[in-house]
Structure 1
Amino acid sequence: MEKLIEQFSLGLFFWQSVLFVALVLLLKKFAWKPILEAVNDREEGIKDALESAEAAKKEMQSLTADNQRILKEARAERDSLLKDAREIKEKIIAEAKEEAQEEASAIIDSAKAAIEVEKKAAISELKTQVAHLSIEIAEKVVKRELASKDDQLALVDKILGEVTLN
């Protein structure tokens, strides 16, 4: 270090300082400024890319939430439609059963009424035939002069044996 102090020249120091300052100014104008601008541009590009990625992430989360909400609403609507369809099906089945029951009751009542009418008609027919038979027997008994009761009973038995019911 002593040797350095002994060989020190003020002129050389001055020119070295001037050259250093000129070199710093040249580097500042032509090298550092473009390098700093490139670094700043790169930093801004990275910052913009990070902001875009964050915005895309938020938008993706929003879309995912919307999709989940829409899917939930669609499921709820599907369940509601299925429930309504089941209720309508059960209502239709119940109405059909009730209508069939009413028709069956009406058919049974109609059949009972028809049977009753037929029964009354048969009884009326039977009464009419019995009346005719009675009249015929009475006519035949009256026409014949029967002397005894035994002859009358024999005649009635004979006529009854000949008569057939329709």
Structure 2
Amino acid sequence: MLEMKRPKNYWTPYAAHCINLILEDIGKLPRIKMTIKRVISLVGFIYGRSSTLSLMRHFIKKRELVKHVVTRFATSFLSLERLYENKANLRKMFVSDEWTTNKLSKEIKGNEATKIVLMRSFWKNDAYTMKGIGLLVKVLRLVDSEKKVVRGYIYEAMDKARRPL
């Protein structure tokens, strides 16, 4: 009704919200859902214990695994990216003497974390997920930033994100 009354007006949906909803839907796919569940479990375990966090920071050169952003689903996908970037160092950490002699490594959650990090299928699914949504997360970063971005640049980024891999 508003369009009929004022034909010169136009609206566009809030891009960051729309992309977040797309990421939410993608996150419901079984393979991706399981990968994200494992990431949340692993990152939660590492950050939930000071000794594990300290050991992780030592092995990955004081970088963080979690990069906080406004949208919840983008945080999960960015955590996937950070984990993959630090794959080799995380694997070294979970087979190191420092970890195997740590009492947390004998606990159920510590054992689960070790299994996740050493699981080949986890890293394969991590790479698969990042490849599928990486460009979409980049677009989300563009539209959700404080800087003013040229609309044409956003359309180009969305076009790239839609192309088949």
TM-score band, normalised by shorter chain: under 0.3
Comparing both structures, which one devotes a greater share of its residues to helix?
A: 1
